[in-house]
Amino acid sequence: MNRYKIVCLVLSVALLASLARLAVTANGEKACCGKHSAEAKSSVVLQNILNRKSVRSFTDRPVSREQLDTLLRAAMAAPTGRDMRPWKFVVVQGRAEMDSLAQRLPYAKMLTEATAAVIVCGDLSVLSKEGKPSTNWTFDCSAATENLLLMAEAMGLGAVWTGVHPYEDRLSVVKAALGLPEHIVPLNVVPIGYPKGTPQPKDKFDAANIHYNRW
């Protein structure tokens, strides 16, 4: 083998080695960036969850239709047993209707300040493939409500869960006020608006409530 061929062979091996190193470095950087991206996303999500708080006092700044649609889109992304989605949502923005509900519901007085409210309801007419109503509608609607509350926090809005079901006096008030048919059962009323002041979240983490593998 002459000197020219030897030089070409050496250069070819060196080039291949360089390309291999570049490929390894690029894959490493990609994996590293992917890891950092996942960590950043999880940090944002966790921070939003930890910042969620029950807001009971609001400014008079209105909540837009687009904001409400976003909240409801988030709500309907919740998990639901057998994908039955046994939920309906009633949006109230009328001052008279909200003030009337505030007067008659013992734990929803903040409706007088809120500029909107969402009533999360179970729809008992939704049937499974076997023709049976959902037995999990309260769970599904609760998951939807939590999604709504977390989305409100992320959007800079304030909201609070006020219970309706299973209290008969509250159920009758909400059903009558909104003209709900018999098969629509209100689970809660969620007043929504821009927070007044600077309400703070509560740190509810307690390691004593955690048990691994067995009690």
**Is residue 14 predicted with pLDDT exceeding 70?**
no
Q: What is the pLDDT of residue 34?
A: 74
Residue 91: phi, psi to the nearest 5?
A: -100, 130
b/e per residue, 119-131, with b = 16+ CB within 10 A?
A: bbbbbeebeeeee
Binning the chain into helix, strand and coil, the percentages to the nearest 5 are 50, 15, 35
Contact 112, 102 (CB under 8 A): yes
Tell whether the model's pLDDT for residue 214 goes beyond 80: yes
Query: 156's torsion region: left (phi>0), alpha (psi -120 to 50) or beta?
Result: left
For tokens 């930890």, the residue is 50
Residues comprising the chain, all counted: 215
Q: Is the pLDDT of residue 187 over 70?
A: yes
Question: H helices within 52-127, ranges in order?
Answer: 65-75, 95-104
pLDDT digits (tens, 9 = 90+) for 100-152: 999 999 999 999 999 999 999 999 999 999 999 999 999 999 999 999 999 99
Contacts (Cβ under 8 Å, ≥6 apart) of 79: 140, 143
